[in-house]
Structure formats: structure tokens, C-alpha cells
Structure 1
Amino acid sequence: MALNNRGYAGKILFVNLSDEKHFVKSIEEKAVQLLLGGKGLGVLLLYKYSKARINPLSPENPLIFVTGPLTGTMAPGSGKFCVLTKSPATGTVNDSYCGGRFGSELKMAGYDALVLTGRALEPSILVIQDNNVSLEPAGKIWGATTLETEKAMKKMLGGKYKIVEIGPAGERMAPIASIFSGTRCAGRGGAGAVMGSKNLKAIAVNGNGKIKVYNSEEFKKSAWIAHRALRMSEVTVRSLPIYGTPNILETVNETGALPTRNFQSGRFKFAAEISGESFKKKVWKKSFSCSLSCPIKCSKIANLPKQIDGATIIDGPDYETVFSFGSNCGIRDIESILLANIICDLYGVDTISTGCIVSFIMELYQRGYLSSEELDDIDAEWGNSKAMLALTEKIAKGEGIGRFLQLGVKRISERYPGSERFAIHVKGLEVPGYDPRAAQGMGLCYAISERGACHLRAYTAGRELLGYEGGVDPRSYDISKVKLAIDVQNEKAIADSAVICFFSLLGMRLKEVHQMLTSCTGFDYGGLGGLMKLGERVIILCRLFNIREGFRRKDDNLPKRFLEEPMPDGPAKGMVVHLDSMLKSYYALRGLDEDGIPTKETLNNLRLDSLIPNLKF
């Protein structure tokens, strides 16, 4: 059955950068019926085309760019694409998402996915125009910032090409390096380092094809219904468009979950000064969407307080950036947060990891593990904006002590025995902006996330802290909380495979997603129940990849601070995360054995044995 009139291009482009050869394969219908596209298809490709236990920075590690059936359509929030690889930060599967036009352009060029292997002989750029694929020398662009690279590529190729690129951090293979496209990025897990390991500075795509859906009239109706749902939601019609994601900061602070001073506390007394209201009043000039199909406009443009390496404006910051450089470092100065954000963006590093590295260094400094002399004469005191910016710049540029700090919290802590009790990471990935002692479900979500600590793989915080859908008790850790985590994890896997933005799910429901998918692809997926089963299939497939790489129950864990140190203040005072009981229930409900490995019955029930024959652990 042809897929090119069902929301898909129907083809995958494989490029070996070592010998500059490429070939095209058709997508198997069974794969997209069982996994949709995006995350689901990408993990399957990563599993099939990589060997177990390879070095993430070796030429053999695939770097995969993949779209979903909804990518490039009028479905709300469908402007994103997915980047998958084995993470150099964690050794796990890593899927990261980026807004903009690159994904839809790749599909219009005739490809649902791009699979890169090998290593170019010299710093290069990959140029794709429909059937024409070429590898060109990067020349002077190698070493350039992300902004300089975008400008140079547009001057070289013209505005019709859509670009992804890495900054200098990716070139030197920093484990916290991101991949950028315009002002957006695939931020977490080090995909930028993998791209740098392949000697690839940028990819430019131009396509002249069209994206066709199965039933255009029904799809238009279903997409319109989804857009209408977003216009009726307070979150997607007011909170995000006006205040961006920092709109939640004061609420998270009031509930006692705002990470402060490297998660030593859940309350920051200067929260109002770094809130969405404060950013709107003082620095934000304009709201915009990262794609044509998105009505939410969560992105914000701000003027920088001073020019930084040619940049005068910035897209952001978002909530995660504000917490990581703000409350978690004891910083109340929004201009310093803006500057930290643009430094990370220009040099190509993840803001969550970078800010959390800085906060960890500040606690090491507080407890006498590090001196200012060891930090290149930086006095890393809490609330010191100059120190925060100096450390951020050293990490982003890989200069001085920054060359070591860029390795991440886990590897830094290994140098300082005893510091592991306040090294805040899961599987090597720094923890995002919700202290799980104040939201028990988020503790489980962090532990079970396949790429390490992540709020976007399962987001119980919406109901635990923000009151979405009536809310739930954030302190409960019974079976109902585990079931909630499973439901939101499945729903997010569906969205990531479709591919649509997580924020769209804050306004519409799975019913609207199902209607768009069926009219787009012509497949029914077995109704809403079958779609949830598809999400579960994707989650277990990710777990299978990690199991192949050696991950087990011991890795589905949390930092000691969350498990052993009671929250010192706020509504969650005295709480620790009750992970063991939740994890046991999660394993049982997911059909996993006591070590977190899927049973044969689970694999058969999800038809994963038909996708990956002869599974061995």
C-alpha cells in the first residue's frame, strides 16, 4: 500500500558520511500502523541500525531526524520534528524535539526520516534538495555560533532551504550540546555532540513536494475541531500566549516544588521577580509561534541588555531556563537569566543541563569541595549573577574549568566523593524544574523516563501542581498516581510519534488527536484504546533499547536528596519521594519483571516480537 497519500512521504533517506553514499528505503506499512512515526519509528530505526553497547560518539551511532504523519499539516502544533540517537550523556536512547520548518521541509523533499551514519572526512554540511543529496565542505562555518551559521547558510543557499546546525559545543562533542534550527532546538541528551562527532556542522533541506492526507475534507474538519479546542482552553488561549511557560513559576513556587539552590529547597522568596508576569512587564516585546500550524504562540522575543556575539534579541527564556539559571542558582536578576540563555543558544548547549551544572558547582563551593581558585577565580556563591554568567560562559565555550564542567553533573560528582548525595540527575541527565518531593508522581516520571530525568516524557505535574483537569493530591503515591503516570506517558508517546507539540495536549484531548490521525492516514488504530496501546508499544520499545544497552531496575532511580532528605519547607515539608512502591506497581501494570524487563506475554501482546524478531537481552 502506498503511504504517500496518507500523511507520509513513504521513504527514508540513509546517508553514510564516511563514503558520501546514500540510498532510499520505503517504509513498511506495518511499522507506521504500529508506531505511527516520529519517536516510534525513530526508536525502531535506532534499534535496527545500531549495534549494542556502541560508543555514542563513534561513527556507527546513527543520528536520526524523523517526522510524523501530522508533520507539516494544518494540525495544531504539528511543526515539530524528532531527533533520535544514543545519548553521549546517558548511554540511553535519546529523543529530542525541535520546532520550526525543517521537519515539514524534509517531508516535502520526499523523506519521512533521515538516518545518518559514519563520519565525514572533513567538517561538512549536508545539502538535500528533493532527490539531490550532496556533502559540501563547511569551510569557515566550522567554529561559528549557531546564529552565525544560520546567516552564513542562508547567504550561501538562499532562504528556501531550512537549516539545522550545531554550535561550537557540538563541534567539540560536549555531552550537553544541542541541535538548533533557527531559534528552536532539540535540546537535551547531547544530540549536538553526536552530530559534531560526525564532522557535520549543518544540514540544509529544500523540498518541492506536497504533503497529502487520506481524506482531506475529514482531516480539515478534525483539524478545525482541534484548533477550536485550543481556543477554548485558558492555558492555550491566554496563559501561554501572554506569559509563556514561565506563567507557571509562581504556582510551582507556592506548591513548594520550585527547585531552589540545587534542589535544597522548594521555595524561592524572589519568585515573583523571575515570573512570567515580570518577564512580560520588563523584557518581552512580542509573542510568536515556531510553526505556521500553531495558534498558541508560546515563544517570546526579548531585547538583550547588551549585544552578545552579534545577538541583540533572544527567543525566550522558557520556564525550564528560568528555573535552572534563576531559583536553582539563587538568582533574581532576569537580565542575567536572559544573558545566560543567549550564551547557551549561541554556543549550542542545553539550558537545563547547563544551569543545573552551575547550581551543582555552587553547592560544591558552598560545602567546601571546590575553591574559587579551582574555578578559575570565580566566587561561586548563591545569588551571584556574575559568577553564574562566568561559569555559564566557560561551560558553553569549553574554556578553562568549563572543559570539565561540560561533562555534566554525574561525571563532575565522580571526582568529589560524597557529592553524589546532592548530584541531581537520573541516568546522567540533569533534573528539570519540579522537585518531586512536592509532586510524588513526577518522582516516578523522572525514574521511568527512558532518556533520564525528563518532565516531557510523562507530565503528572500538570494535575499535581497546576490543577489541570481538576487536579490530584501531589503527596499521594498510591496505585491511582501510578496509573496517572502510565496514562500521561502513553499519551505523550502518541504525541511524540504523531508528531505534535506537547502544549497542544493542554487544550485538546486524545479524541481530537485520534480523529486527525485517522483522517490523515486512513488507519483506525483500534480506536482510542488501540491508540493508547500504540503509545505503550512505543514506551516498551524504548525500554527494550535501554535493556540492550545494559539498563535495569537499578537505573530507574532518583538522586539521594529526593529519597533521603525530607523537604525542609513549604507545603511538602517533611516529604521524601516514595519511589519503591510506585515503581513496583508501575512494573506490574506495564508487564515488566522485577528487574524492569518486559515479559514474553507483554512483547506478544504489543506485537513487538513482530517488529524486532529474535529479541535477546
Structure 2
Amino acid sequence: MNLAEMKQSHKLLGTFNYHLGQIEKGYANRSLYVNLSTNTFAEKPITELMKQKFIGGRGFGLKLLWDGINDHTKWNDPENELIIAPGPIGGITQYPGAGKSYVVGLSPLTESAMDSNVGGYFGPFLKFSGWDALEIQGKAERDVILFIDGTTGTVTLEEAPLEAVNSHILIEQLTEMYAESEEDKVNVSVVTAGEAAQHTLIGLLNFSFYDTRRKAVRIKQAGRGGLGTVFRDKNIKALVIKSIKIRGDLNNPHDLAALKKVGQKMHKEILTLDDSQCKMRTLGTTHIVKIMDEYDLLPVRNYKFGSDPNAKNIAHAVLLSKYFNLNGHDECWYGCTLSCAKVINSYKLKTGPYKDKEVLVDGPEYETLSAAGSVLGIFDPEFVIETNFYCDTYGVDTISFGTLTAFVMECYENGVLNLDITGGLKLNFGNAEAALELLHQMAKGEGFGMIAGLGIRRMKKVFIEKYGANPDFLQDIGMEVKGLEFSEYVTKESLAQQGGYGLTNKGPQHDEAWVIFMDMVNNQIPTFEDKAEALFYYPMFRTWFSLVGLCKLPWNDIVPADNHTTAEPAKVPEHVQNYVELYNGVTGSNIDNNELIRQSEVVYNFHRIFNLRMGFGTREYDKVPYRAVGPVTLEEYDSRQDRYDGQLKEILNIDIEGKTTEVKVQILRNYREEQYQKLCDAVYIRRGWNSNGIPTMDTLQRLGIDFSEVVDVVKKYA
């Protein structure tokens, strides 16, 4: 069937015409509301209070979601919302990494507010089409496409029965359908999910951009928390946006010259220093595999181990020499000289519904190399690439897929599961064929894939109630917090990173607090107070990126040559100043680096109270599985026996002579769990929270978010 026939089959459900307007200092000053149940639209003002308190991006998403739902809304209720917002800096072309947008909604995994960052063009195009946020509520009866035409000021909602669902086909169809010419494709961006997103709770969203050199539509992912599942539950097949041609002044910044000045400095730094630092322009994030393996931080076999001799098979050298194509645009937004978005051209698939087809694969990035590789005990680069492709096109978060599959494999090897339960899948560590079949089952909504697709938290419940599994063992090895699967770092020897995962608002995701090198490798934060300070500053600083529309990578994946001579090199102070100047240059504000942190505190604490409102947000939900803290099994202890024996003798003054490994494991566990609770106490104090992890009234008043509805939530738990 051709595109014309597909387009002709669309049924128009609603149209909304609006005045295009003009962006003022980074803001369009309005949001677009769409209700899929009633096929209605509305224009909402973005007030000065919204801009002052919630800034943009994740902040706008959380506030709109808070106002749009009630205390009892579930993820699959029509009242749940999906919000996409770019932030006031998002869309500038003068500074690298300025194309991020943030998706917010109630998560099917955590059952609370989730945010997920993503590149691609949709977020900036949304702003240039006249909107600071897109707010979608309700549930369509059948598959629909929402089209925003930012060249004419028209929004349409259309039933779309014939297009594909899987992303790699659908983005091509819709880019062709809505672009007027080959040259116009760069002005179109599409958001899709995929078949597995409608059968699992780990669905992701793909945001497209057109690669003019490769003449191909490419995608970046809003992966975490199952927001793609919400997308498909609402019967959204796709969002499509068409923008006017990009110019460097479309944000209408307060001081364009200031943006150019700080941007030129940063571009020069990247071009001069990247080759001798992380080589992001050549390797993307794949160089991290080798580093993590060398420092015993690479998750292997469900986080039991931190390194493996075979890790070299999925490291950057193999990908660069055999697979990556570097002859195109590797930036996912204009002007990003860091250019980390690597791609594999013409990969021939070996399995699944597209077997023997040659496809373009975006990535793999570090997280996928571990999630589809080492954490499963699989070190085959082509398995990783195949899994990367199918996760993307099916709409599955690679991190959750890998971490939950590793959990399943350990359960299988320990007799919790058997062939009868898995439907014949031999889910041992290292079994690439079975892992891929599990993924294909998720897409089809069949077999054991339906159970695995529920995520670790729900699988634990099923395995205990249905198969009589030991709940303590499952709790120890199930790598999830708050319902979200761990991203790909081993934290056993980094107390601060244990807190960086457990004390997050949305669950264990490294984009909030990656302090593992400061703590474990460089020993820069030895005391509880030092760790608490790090777990205050870094989550707040990284939250700020999510408010304004920036990628975190240009902050510290490239650093000035003299950064090591500064008082706080881990903060990269020159780059922090860059961000202050960017914000002031766009918005006309006059913030400093302290105000930057305060802006984040407002939204961070609001998010914590949002969790509280949904029934979470207290100390008990900050607990991490013991595998994140120390060795669960004798096998784990023995793999690092010299290290652990040494710690028992040197730190605890334990005479280990004659003690069994079981006894040593328990002594170490008692100590490390106590340390984690002490860390929680220290972090809560530093963040202005009480001993139950709830922001105090003094904190709410200091931040100016002592709104009546916020105070009412806090009082319920006081």
C-alpha cells in the first residue's frame, strides 16, 4: 500500500487553528492541551509563576501533570497525561547539546511521576511551532496521529488505521507523508513507540531527526519508566510536527551575542581536546565499557561481577573497526560538535519479523552495550546490535530489558523458574538466542515475554505468589528501586552511588547522580558529610539540565585543559559558568551558580512530594536491593575474597580465621546495610528533609513552594 492510500484512509477527528506568535526570550508563553477522549484542544497560558518556579522542561511537565490528575489516577486511566517540554534554552544552535526535551507522565513501572530525557528534533520544533509544552490527556478509541503544523498554525487529530506501528517503518512513512520534498524532511519530526510498548510496561518513545548526509530518518529514545506504554495505551500511533526552517535566532534570546561568545569557546574546546579526552566525536559513549571493566564497575551476570575478560568484544575498538559509520551527522540537534550519536548502516538482521532485512541502527551507546551484553553474560557485538535495533523499533527500553532479563536468568539458574514456566526458553546467562526470543515474545504479547515485560517489581510478586520463590532472595537480586530497573553500573564499592540510585525521585537512573568515580576511584568524598554534599549538589545540578533543555554530556565529558587546577574539578566550574551565561543570555535573567541550584531544588522537592501524593516518597522506598550494596551469594564473595576479607579485618577489626564464607557474608552485610542507612540520614538532612525522607515545611517555605495543595500532601505524612 502506498503513502497516498494511507493518508487517504485517515479520518479527521478534530482541527485546531492558532496564531503562530513569537518566542520571547526562550518562551512561547503557552502550552497546547489535547484531549484524546473528546477530540478537543486548548491553549493554556504559561504564567510568570510557572516560569519562575518550574522553569521549563521537566518542571513544566511535573506541574502540568500535578494539575491534570487526581490522587487516585493510575497510569492507564484516561486522566493520566503525557507531557513533552523542551525548556527555555532548548533549541538554541550556538551551544552543544541544546536539543533536549523531557517527557513526563505517570509511569506503569513506578506508578508515580516519571521524567525521561530525549534528543532529536521534536522538542525544539515544538517550541518553534509556538508551544512551551504539549499536554496530552484522555484515550482515543482507535489509533490516532496528532499533527502539529508549525508553518501554518494548524493542529489536526486523525485516525490512522493503515500505517505500521513499529518505529523504523512508521517514522519513514510519516516523514515521507508530511514532508513536501526531500529538502523538507529535515523540518519534520515524529514520535513513535512500537508493538512491544503495547504489550509490556517498559515501552519507550522514539523521537526522530533527519540525517541529511545519510539521507535517513534516525531516532533518539525517551527510554525510562514505560512512557511508551502510556503512549500506546492512549492509542497514539504517532505525533508528527513540522517546523519552519531552523535559524540561530528563533529562540529570540535576550543577548544573542553572549550565546555566540560562550558557544564559540565551547566548540573550540571540543575540537581541540575531545581527541585526547573521551573521543566522543569518534566513539560516542562506547568508550565507557573499557573504563567500567577496568574499574570493576561493568555489570556482569545480573550485577554479580564488575568485569569479564570478554568485555573487550563489545567495547569501542570492535564497534569502531567493524560497525560504526562515521560519514554523516552524528549530532542529534544542530550545533552539537560533541556529536556522540553513532550509527550502524546496513546491518543485516538475523532474527525476528525483519530477518535478512538491512536496517540502520542508532547506537549502541554504553548503557545498551551493558544491558544487551555484559549484564546478560553475553559478549557478542552482533547480538547487542540486533537487540538494540529490535528494542528501538518495538518500543522497549534497553536498560529495563537487559536488567529484567538478567534477573530472569539468575532466577532460572537458581531453580525459581524452569522450562515449563518459561515456555521452553533456556534462560541461562549467555543464551543470546533465548534472550532475543524473549524480546520477540514481548513484541507479540505472547509466552513468557508477557510476564517478563511486567518489569522486575511485578515479576517478584508473581514468582513469590505463583511459584513459591523465596522473597528475600528475589529482593536481594532484583535490581530495581521504586519499580524502575537499574541502569548499568555496579555500585558495591561506592556507598555514594548506592545513594545516587536509591535516593532518586524516579528510580535508579544515572542521569540524576553519577558520583561513582568521585567516590570509589578518586576518593574525593570520604565522609558521610562529603557524600551527602555530593548527593545534594549533583542531583540538583543535573536536574537543571532537565529544566532548560540541555544534554548533560557537554558538561563533563569534555573539560577545559586546566580544569584539574580548579578548586572543585568534579564540578567543572568553567562549564557551570557557561550555563549561567547561557540562561541569562536567553532569558534576560541575572542568576548565578547558586541560583541555578536553587531553581533545581524547587522542582526536585516538588517531584519528591509528587511521589508522596501518589503513595510513595518516604524512606522505605529509598531502599536498594542488597546486590547493589554487597555480595549476596558465596560466589560473589569468593570472586573478590581478598578485597572483602581485607575490609573485614582492616575496617571492622574482625578476626576471620576459621569463619565460613556464609558468616563473613553476613557480617559484611550487617555493616554495609548500616552504612547505607547512615548515608540516608546524612542526605536527608542536607536536602532539608525529615528522617522519613519528606521535605520539611522550612524547606518548602525557603523554596517558595508552600502552596496549599503541596502543604496538604506533606501534612498527611507529618
Give the TM-score, by structure 2 length.
0.81
Cross-structure match for 2:115: 95
Matching residue within 339, 356, 378 for 1:297: 339
Cross-structure match for 1:180: 206
2:301 equivalent to 1:261: yes
Q: Deviations over 1:73-124 (max 9, x none)?
A: 1221011111000111111211101111111111111001000111112210
2:593 equivalent to 1:528: yes
Q: Deviations over 1:208-230 (max 9, x none)?
A: 39321111222222332333344
Letter in 1 for 2:623: N
After superposing the two structures, state which structure 1 stretch, 409-418 or 182-191, moved more.
409-418
Matching residue within 162, 177, 183 for 2:189: 162
By how many angstroms is 1:234 displaced?
3.9
Q: Secondary structure at the match of 1:110?
A: coil
Matching residue within 173, 184, 190 for 1:152: 173
By how many angstroms is 1:572 displaced?
6.1
Cross-structure match for 2:705: 608
Cross-structure match for 1:227: 267
Distance 1:263 1:523 in 2: 45
2:157 equivalent to 1:135: yes
Letter in 2 for 1:521: T
After superposing the two structures, state which structure 1 stretch, 563-572 or 308-317, moved more.
563-572
2:519 equivalent to 1:493: no
Matching residue within 477, 481, 487 for 2:531: 481
Distance 1:43 1:186 in 2: 16
CA gap 1:461/1:407 in 2 versus in 1, 3 angstroms: same
After superposing the two structures, state which structure 1 stretch, 57-66 or 398-407, moved more.
398-407
Matching residue within 606, 618, 623 for 1:557: 623
Distance 1:78 1:223 in 2: 11
After superposing the two structures, state which structure 1 stretch, 487-496 or 390-399, moved more.
390-399
Cross-structure match for 1:382: 429
Cross-structure match for 2:481: 426
CA gap 1:318/1:112 in 2 versus in 1, 3 angstroms: same
Distance 1:488 1:185 in 2: 23
Cross-structure match for 1:447: 502
Q: Secondary structure at the match of 2:403?
A: helix
Segments of structure 1 that go 5 or more residues without pairing to the other structure are none
2:413 equivalent to 1:366: yes
Question: Does structure 2 conserve the Cα–Cα contact (< 8 Å) formed by 1:3 and 1:29?
Answer: no
Question: Does structure 2 conserve the Cα–Cα contact (< 8 Å) formed by 1:189 and 1:429?
Answer: yes
Cross-structure match for 1:69: 88
CA gap 1:391/1:572 in 2 versus in 1, 3 angstroms: farther
Q: Deviations over 1:367-401 (max 9, x none)?
A: 01111232222211221222222222223433211
By how many angstroms is 1:237 displaced?
6.5
Q: Deviations over 1:9-59 (max 9, x none)?
A: 111111111111111122112321233211122212211222113111111
Aligned length: 608
2:459 equivalent to 1:412: yes
Distance 2:704 2:79 in 1: 28
By how many angstroms is 1:494 displaced?
0.7
Distance 1:385 1:117 in 2: 39
Cross-structure match for 2:609: 544
CA gap 1:383/1:546 in 2 versus in 1, 3 angstroms: same
Q: Deviations over 1:526-545 (max 9, x none)?
A: x1111111111121111010
CA gap 1:207/1:428 in 2 versus in 1, 3 angstroms: same
Distance 2:301 2:405 in 1: 10
CA gap 1:326/1:358 in 2 versus in 1, 3 angstroms: same
Question: Does structure 1 conserve the Cα–Cα contact (< 8 Å) formed by 2:612 and 2:713?
Answer: no
2:95 equivalent to 1:52: no
More RCO (CA 8 Å, sep 6+) = 1
Cross-structure match for 1:472: 523
2:101 equivalent to 1:81: yes
Cross-structure match for 1:110: 130
Cross-structure match for 1:335: 382
Distance 2:377 2:643 in 1: 20
By how many angstroms is 1:613 displaced?
6.2
CA gap 1:199/1:81 in 2 versus in 1, 3 angstroms: same
By how many angstroms is 1:266 displaced?
1.7
Question: Does structure 2 conserve the Cα–Cα contact (< 8 Å) formed by 1:343 and 1:396?
Answer: no
Q: Secondary structure at the match of 1:139?
A: coil
CA gap 1:3/1:519 in 2 versus in 1, 3 angstroms: farther
Matching residue within 566, 570, 580 for 2:677: 580
By how many angstroms is 1:156 displaced?
2.2
By how many angstroms is 1:195 displaced?
1.0
Letter in 1 for 2:687: R
CA gap 1:80/1:397 in 2 versus in 1, 3 angstroms: farther
2:637 equivalent to 1:597: no
2:53 equivalent to 1:34: yes
Cross-structure match for 2:17: none
Segments of structure 2 that go 5 or more residues without pairing to the other structure are 1-20, 180-184, 209-218, 464-468, 560-574, 648-667
Cross-structure match for 1:391: 438
Distance 1:235 1:62 in 2: 43
Distance 1:263 1:79 in 2: 33
Letter in 2 for 1:154: T
By how many angstroms is 1:144 displaced?
2.2
Question: Does structure 2 conserve the Cα–Cα contact (< 8 Å) formed by 1:3 and 1:10?
Answer: no
CA gap 1:229/1:607 in 2 versus in 1, 3 angstroms: farther
**Which structure has the bigger radius of gyration?**
2
Distance 1:16 1:261 in 2: 44
Question: Does structure 2 conserve the Cα–Cα contact (< 8 Å) formed by 1:225 and 1:512?
Answer: no
CA gap 1:161/1:3 in 2 versus in 1, 3 angstroms: closer
Matching residue within 26, 30, 35 for 1:7: 26
Distance 2:589 2:462 in 1: 53
CA gap 1:269/1:365 in 2 versus in 1, 3 angstroms: same
Q: Secondary structure at the match of 1:374?
A: helix
RMSD: 2.2
Q: Secondary structure at the match of 1:285?
A: coil
Distance 2:443 2:515 in 1: 32
Letter in 2 for 1:590: R
Q: Secondary structure at the match of 1:616?
A: helix
Q: Secondary structure at the match of 2:43?
A: strand
Distance 1:60 1:235 in 2: 49
